[in-house]
């Protein structure tokens, strides 16, 4: 595997600045064949590309079969691909070029560069592959640059988690279902925990007890309570995303089926507040301290540092505006409605920008995408993001692949002895589609000559 | 017809500035039917939208048959749609938002706005229509926003006049052919004129004679000679573009088949330099003074003031980089090779920006566009721009319509008793395609419900 850089424009859509930056990418060509081969292009998302590369074993597993060169492109403003170095997140002026459109243009320039500089690559079909936001980018890349890629595998890509394309509550409802199915009274215990926290945090001694019971690194004040509850909620969300059938280390090191492990501590909702919160701690500890290394829990962190939380927060505040809500009835969380005004004000305070919540749909078509071709949308039924994903075929060539036992882009992970049948089937379908795209490409190339 | 404004973002692709401007558009709904109707959307190009509206009679002529609402959208930085008012062309900072991508985003926002605000428009098919650069925009709009328009009529759209997609000499070769076919020795006379000008301009008395013989508004100096020759060349180019079969007023008021009229003055190439240039004056005078109003000829102007020459010059210096060349053998001009370095330096001097000549192909696919659908590319064989156009079918739904007796987007002009059969056939083909797109739209809508 080779680590490289391409010098690319900071602004592809304006000519006033000629500033460039170095975008990182990885190339692996062990199984690549110049004759009849292909190029699998990972459309990098909100994190370090090496980390994504290490968590996308699927591409490595199919490289030989597809005679494929693997390329992993880092997304601008993440990892080491920082347009303004340390100043990249300084203010909205420096962040102005962090958009999906600029990222897609980076990918297009990179593919052109590879085809120009690698002998044999020029006349080969390229397939975009990505997961999560990277899956959205893979789909959008095929939609906007179909001359660059013959198809896209968009794994766990919630391209419809915008505006009112899906109900805002669907995401947390799926999280809740995962917990409900993973152990008796598990979701009920969590449901009850919020009021217990509220009661305990109403007194100074309660706050102190809570800080100690949860082994927090810093003592809680009453102002921290909403933040504490958000942190706990996000923990459950993350567990739903990485509820994989084998021990893994994506967002955190975790055992197999981690929600089942968590739920072993959450069997009794009808206990005292103190006992309930001690159980909640045991559950959180599965997520934050499976390795046994953590001395305390830090409510400022929920996942690996390989993800770029600053950049993602900015993107969520501009283009990638995803409405979420809970009602406490269909889900195990405290009720919280989606409030665009409040969200916008928070964004303005944090970044000096306001979201444009309708832009993504204007740009990428929302549900009206049937004129595009050659995109496989895969979704795991355990994955909360599947709620905003494409889970039914749209046309013969815009197809949905559903993985009943899959969490967040399980299909993109390396093969594992504990893989459920549903993900094996999904991968084989995906490979079949990719082979068809490659075959069609060569058939058409043949006809042209 | 109603003139309106929409408030739209100056920058659709960045969130640092929230500045907006007013984009003008026209709506005509005399023949529009809410039941089974359609929306014909003119993707405005480099000029005043009212002027384009008045020169696109085709849309008016087919409105009733298609039960169509007509919309004419003005392109940003042209007409009165100036993002920074009088400062819009001040420097590269103010011009930074003059790109085709921003223009397409404006169109997308405008269509959303119309569908949201005009009762009955929401569930109707929209068809993009444009000519010349506007035709490129119509095609590109269908390629990039297929969820917004069911198809596009791209008239005389030279989407391949970029990089080396077509030979750089094809444009001037077609101009030359037009003159060669329009009268005996016509192109030879023009071919000979350049050396005659060079000889005359080598002396002070020759320059004075030339200024008077050509009735120029300002006397020539030896530094003006290249400019003079460029102006004369552009006049022949413009005549080739507007060589319509009836008297018209697009770039200038002109008689029917103006090149034939011009060529009546250019039958004798083998005359003295003085007589040849006097004949050239008579020929130029057809173009610049058909109305008989001009007291003198101004070598700073070649066409109507309704076109935005400043904006277009900037666009040609950034994205819309079209290589042109002549060799004096296949064409009637002085040899001039395409020199990107020189072009880039000129652009930098004029606008402080340098062209990115490969970007348009990266963005819009160059010749690799076969995955798109529902675009009709029409071209007139007399039109020099047809050299960079799509003149052969690419697929069943990316079709070429050729008009043997047509100049620049003759098909978009109002019907005329003197229309040749070829343009009547072209228009009926175009209408047939549009009707198919509309029918398919309603068929699919029916199926969904």
Instruction: Kindly tell me if the per-residue pLDDT of A282 is higher than 50.
Output: yes
Please check whether residue A364 lies inside any domain of the structure: no
Contacts of B358 in chain A (CB under 8 A): 112
Which pLDDT tens digit goes with each residue over A325-344? 999 999 999 999 999 999 99
Last residue of a domain, one of A226, A261, A289: A289
Task: Find, in chain A, the residue whose alpha carbon is nearest to that of B105.
Answer: A363
Residues B142 and B6 in one domain: yes
Name every residue whose Cβ is closer than 8 Å to that of residue A259 and which is 6 or more positions away in sequence. Answer: A178, A179, A182, A183, A186, A239, A240, A243
Return mean pLDDT, chain B. 97
| Per-residue pLDDT tens digits for B287-346 | 999 989 899 999 998 888 889 999 999 999 999 999 999 999 999 999 999 999 999 999
Tell me: pLDDT of A13 over 70. yes
Q: Is residue B418 part of a domain?
A: yes
Chain B residues touching residue A444 (CB < 8 angstroms): 370
Which positions of B are annotated as active-site residues? 132, 383, 408
B11 and B155 share one domain: yes
- List the CATH number of the domain containing B227: 1.20.120.980
Q: Is A172 exposed, middle or buried (0-12, 13-18, 19+ CB in 10 A)?
A: buried
pLDDT tens-place string over residues A67-115: 999 999 999 999 999 999 999 999 999 999 999 999 999 999 999 999 9
A15 vs B147: CB contact, 8 Å cut-off?
no
In this predicted structure, the answer to whether residue B449 has a pLDDT above a threshold of 80 is no
CB contact under 8 A, B363 and A101: no
For residue A198, count CB atoms less than 10 angstroms from its CB and return exposed for 0-12, middle for 13-18, buried for 19 or more: middle
Is A16 in contact with B354 (Cβ distance < 8 A)?
A: no
A433-443 residue pLDDT tens = 999 999 999 99
Cα–Cα distance measured from residue A6 to residue A4, given in angstroms and rounded to the nearest whole number: 7
Does residue A363 sit within a domain? no
DSSP state of B326: B
Measured CA to CA, the distance from residue B97 to residue B107 in angstroms comes to: 14
Closest CA to B63 of B324, B439, B419, B431: B431
pLDDT at B448 over 70: no
Structural domain boundaries enclosing A228: 171-289
What pLDDT is recorded for position B138? 98
- What is the percent of chain B with per-residue pLDDT over 90, rounded to a whole number? 96
How many beta-carbon contacts under 8 Å exist across A and B?
88
pLDDT digits (tens, 9 = 90+) for B71-91: 999 999 999 999 999 999 999
In a domain, B300, yes or no: no
Flag whether B323 is in a domain: no
Indicate whether B181 and B254 sit together in one domain: yes
Rounded CA-CA distance A220/A226 in Å is 11
Question: Quick one: B17 and B101 in the same domain?
Answer: yes
Do B20 and B75 reside in the same domain of the chain? yes
Q: Do B97 and A144 touch (CB under 8 A)?
A: no
End-of-domain residue from the set A235, A258, A289 = A289
Quick one: pLDDT at residue A447?
Answer: 65
Q: Among partner residues B353, B370, B371, which is closest to A16 by beta-carbon distance?
A: B353
The answer to whether the Cβ–Cβ distance between A96 and B14 falls below 8 Å is yes
- Distance in Å, alpha carbon of B386 to nearest chain A alpha carbon: 23
Mean pLDDT, rounded, of chain A: 97
Q: Number of structural domains, chain B?
A: 2
Q: Is B336 helix (H, G, I), strand (E, B) or coil?
A: strand
Q: Is the dihedral of CA B244, B250, B254, B259 positive or negative?
A: negative
CATH number at residue A426: 3.40.50.1820
The pLDDT of residue A449 is 47
Q: Model-level pTM greater than 0.90?
A: yes
pLDDT at B302: 87
Is B415 in the same domain as B274?
no
Note whether A16 contacts B359, CB cutoff 8 Å. no
Q: Which of B289, B309, B327 is the last residue of a domain?
A: B289
Could you tell me which of A256, A309, A283 has the C-alpha nearest to residue A45? Answer: A309
Question: Is the separation of the CB atoms in A427 and A411 below 8 Å?
Answer: yes
Residue A443 forms part of a structural domain: yes
In a domain, B70, yes or no: yes
Per-residue exposure over B105-133, b if at least 16 CB sit within 10 Å of its own CB, e if not: bbbbbbbebbbeebeebeebbbbbbbbbb
Are residues B29 and B132 part of one domain?
A: yes
Residues A33 and A66 in one domain: yes
Same domain, B180 and B98: no
Cβ-contact B78, B47 below 8 angstroms: yes
3-state class of A20 per DSSP?
A: strand
Residues of B with CB under 8 A from a CB of A: 9, 12-16, 18, 92-93, 95-97, 99, 101-102, 105, 108-109, 112, 144-147, 318-319, 353-354, 356, 358-359, 362-363, 365-366, 368-374, 444
Residue B170: band (very low, low, confident or very high) from pLDDT cuts 50, 70, 90: very high
| Model confidence at B208: pLDDT above 60 | yes
pLDDT in tens, A205-253: 999 999 999 999 999 999 999 999 999 999 999 999 999 999 999 999 9
B219 vs B193, B205, B213, B379, CA distance in Å?
19, 11, 11, 40
Query: Do the domain assignments include residue A102?
Result: yes
Indicate if the pLDDT at residue B162 is higher than 80.
yes
Question: What's the CA angle centered on A287, arms A237 and A378, to 5 degrees?
Answer: 45
Both B200 and B266 in one domain: the answer is yes
Question: Could you please report the per-residue DSSP string of B224-291?
Answer: GHHHHHHHHHHHHHHHHHT--SS-EESSSEE-SSHHHHHHTT---SSS-HHHHHHHHHHHHHHHH-TT
Residue B98 distance to chain A (closest CA, Å):
8
Q: Please check whether residues A229 and A124 belong to one and the same domain.
A: no
Ranking B274-283, B293-302, B429-438 by mean pLDDT, the lowest is B293-302
Nearest residue of chain A to residue B101 (CA atoms): A13
Q: What is the rounded CA–CA span in Å between residue A329 and residue B265?
A: 88
- Same domain? For A250 and A190 the reply is yes
């Amino acid at each position: 595997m080779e680590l490289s850089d391409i010098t690319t424009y900071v602004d592809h859509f304006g000519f006033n600045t000629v500033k460039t930056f170095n975008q990182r990418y990885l190339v692996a060509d062990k199984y690549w064949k110049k004759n009849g081969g292909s190029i699998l292009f990972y459309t990098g998302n909100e994190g370090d590309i090496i980390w994504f590369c290490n968590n996308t074993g699927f591409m490595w597993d199919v490289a030989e079969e597809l005679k494929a060169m693997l390329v992993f492109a880092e997304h601008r403003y993440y990892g080491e691909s920082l347009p303004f170095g340390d100043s990249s997140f300084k203010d909205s002026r420096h962040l102005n070029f962090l958009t999906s459109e600029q990222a897609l243009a980076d990918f297009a320039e990179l593919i052109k560069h590879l085809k120009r500089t690698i002998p044999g690559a020029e006349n080969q079909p390229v397939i975009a592959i990505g997961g999560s936001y990277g899956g959205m980018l893979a789909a959008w890349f095929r939609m906007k640059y179909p001359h660059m890629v013959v198809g896209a595998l968009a794994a766990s890509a919630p391209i419809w988690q915008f505006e009112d394309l899906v109900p805002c509550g669907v995401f947390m409802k799926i999280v809740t279902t995962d917990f409900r199915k993973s152990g008796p009274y598990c979701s009920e215990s969590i449901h009850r925990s919020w009021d217990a926290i509220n009661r305990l945090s109403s007194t100074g001694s309660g706050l102190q007890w809570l800080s100690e019971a949860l082994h927090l690194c810093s003592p809680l004040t009453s102002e921290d309570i909403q933040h504490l509850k958000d942190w706990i909620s996000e923990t459950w969300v993350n567990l739903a995303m990485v509820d994989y059938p084998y021990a893994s280390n994506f967002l955190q090191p975790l055992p197999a089926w981690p929600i089942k492990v968590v739920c072993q501590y959450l069997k009794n909702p009808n206990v005292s507040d103190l006992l309930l919160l001690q159980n909640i701690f045991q559950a959180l500890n599965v997520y934050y301290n499976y390795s046994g290394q953590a001395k305390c829990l830090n409510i400022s962190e929920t996942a690996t540092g390989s993800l770029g939380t600053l950049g993602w927060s900015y993107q969520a505040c501009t283009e990638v505006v995803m409405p979420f809500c809970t009602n406490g009835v269909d889900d195990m969380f405290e009720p919280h409605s989606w409030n665009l005004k409040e969200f916008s004000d928070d964004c303005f305070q944090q970044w000096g920008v306001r979201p444009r919540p309708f832009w993504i749909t204007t740009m990428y078509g929302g549900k009206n995408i049937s004129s595009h071709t050659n995109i496989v949308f895969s979704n795991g039924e355990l994955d909360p993001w599947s709620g905003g994903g494409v889970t039914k075929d749209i046309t013969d060539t815009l197809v949905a692949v559903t993985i009943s036992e899959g969490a967040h882009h399980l299909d993109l992970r390396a093969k594992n002895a504990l893989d459920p049948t549903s993900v094996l089937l999904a991968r084989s379908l995906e490979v079949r589609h990719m082979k068809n795209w490659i075959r069609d490409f060569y058939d058409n190339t043949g006809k042209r000559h």
